[in-house]
Amino acid sequence: MTRILPSLLAALMCWTTNAASEAPIPPQRQAEIIYLLKHDCGSCHGMRLEGGLGPALTPDRFQLWSTQVLALTILTGRPGTPMPPWRPFLSEREALWLAGQLKQGIRP
């Protein structure tokens, strides 16, 4: 694990620099991402995103998480848990946007 961490952090720093320089996400795509969150993520994290099979997706929970780490978790999932990778459905830029929204709080 300690050998993987430095290379993971380096890749994460490079990735967030490139993703942040892209154009903003159009409002229609933002609505699609929020729909995905509420309906697909909500099936495990609770329809109000307050927890269920998976933990709550609330600002309090993510207070100590960076947006980049949260986005990486969204994209890669959590091996050994029911949390799947969402990379087939979201770009890196979209995952960063969604992570920012989760940290601010989304009303279902």
Q: Spell out the domains of the chain, with CATH numbers in brackets.
A: 4-104 (1.10.760.10)
Q: Which pTM was predicted?
A: 0.79
- What DSSP assignment string belongs to the chain? -TTHHHHHHHHHHHHHHHHHTSPPPPHHHHHHHHHHIIIIIHHHH-TTSS-SSSPP-STTTTTTS-HHHHHHHHHH--TTSS----TTT--HHHHHHHHHHHHH----
Q: pLDDT digit string (tens) for 20-53?
A: 557 899 999 999 999 999 999 999 999 999 999 9
